[in-house]
């Protein structure tokens, strides 16, 4: 997703990271910040691409919805393994309110993890030469995370931002790997052996 004064899908949900990176490289800068629209449009894109798109939306429960840690869901009707990561300075200037977008995500069982990027003294220079203050609004983004069952992060530098995304990557992704279960069966054999020995002592007064 990319958003400024409006929100638009850059790449439909896919598993190919290379496709996403290539598409994001050409995203231009624009004026305005439509956070509420961005969340709602993200939710619509995810729901439309989900195998469970025709299923009833997940029920909201105490303001927490879906699978916030990416571990496959907890059976509450959310969308397992699905999440939205929102990067912004947090100050909505156009479009629907943040709360409207957050409600759409919560109703669909999709947690929104927010990343507040910027500083309290941040500024931008307009083409006219005017310098405009753009302090980061961490509270607004934290409210979105709370309302959807997500987590709130913040970063002031590019290095911190990379660290946040690495953390999110570990939380929200899974990697399949072969697993040796021989030890598990060996452990079960030992337990059965102990049980058999205990039974032998009880009934016959001796070990088998």
pLDDT digits (tens, 9 = 90+) for 38-86: 999 999 988 876 544 333 333 332 222 333 333 333 334 455 578 999 9
Q: Would you state the torsion angle of the CA atoms of residues 154, 158, 162, 167, taken in this order, to the nearest 10 degrees?
A: -20
- Mean pLDDT score, 160-189: 74
CA gyration radius, the chain: 24
Nearest residue to 105 (alpha-carbon basis) of 73, 78, 137: 78
The whole-angstrom separation of Cα 141 and Cα 136 is: 10
pTM greater than 0.95 (yes/no)? no
What whole-number percentage of the chain has pLDDT above 90?
A: 43
Residue 180 has pLDDT above 70, yes or no: no
pLDDT of residue 14: 83
Strand partners, 116: 88, 154
The whole-angstrom separation of Cα 139 and Cα 154 is: 11
- Mean pLDDT score, 145-168: 94
pLDDT of residue 199: 44
Residue 95 has pLDDT above 90, yes or no: yes
Residue 140 has pLDDT above 70, yes or no: yes
pLDDT of residue 144: 97
Q: Would you state the torsion angle of the CA atoms of residues 61, 109, 43, 114, taken in this order, to the nearest 10 degrees?
A: 70
Highest mean pLDDT among 7-11, 53-57, 192-196: 7-11
Q: Three-state DSSP class for 7? A: strand
Q: 108 Cβ partners below 8 Å, 6+ apart?
A: 43, 46, 47, 57, 58, 65, 66, 79
Residue 178 has pLDDT above 60, yes or no: yes
- Mean pLDDT score, 75-104: 84
Residue 120 has pLDDT above 80, yes or no: yes
pLDDT of residue 191: 54
Confidence of residue 179 (pLDDT cuts 50, 70, 90): low
Residue 142 has pLDDT above 90, yes or no: yes
69 vs 92, more confident: 92
């Amino acid at each position: 997703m990319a958003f400024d004064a409006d929100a638009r899908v850059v790449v439909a949900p896919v598993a190919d990271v290379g496709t996403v990176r290539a598409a994001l490289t050409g995203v231009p800068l624009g004026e305005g910040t439509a956070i509420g629209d961005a969340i709602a449009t993200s939710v619509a894109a995810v729901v439309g691409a989900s195998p469970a798109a025709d299923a009833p939306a997940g029920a909201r429960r105490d303001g927490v919805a879906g699978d916030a840690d990416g571990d496959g869901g907890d059976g509450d009707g959310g969308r397992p393994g699905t999440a939205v990561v929102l990067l912004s300075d947090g100050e909505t200037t156009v479009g629907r309110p943040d709360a409207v977008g957050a409600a759409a995500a919560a109703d669909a069982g999709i947690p929104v993890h927010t990343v507040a990027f910027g500083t309290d003294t941040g500024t931008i220079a307009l083409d006219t030469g005017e310098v405009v203050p753009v302090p980061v609004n961490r509270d607004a983004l934290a409210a979105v995370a709370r309302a959807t069952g997500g987590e709130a992060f913040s970063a002031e530098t590019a290095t911190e931002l990379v660290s946040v995304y690495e953390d999110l990557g570990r939380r929200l992704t899974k990697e399949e790997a072969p697993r040796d279960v021989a030890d598990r069966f060996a452990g079960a054999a030992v337990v059965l052996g102990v049980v058999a020995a205990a039974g032998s002592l009880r009934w016959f007064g001796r070990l088998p």
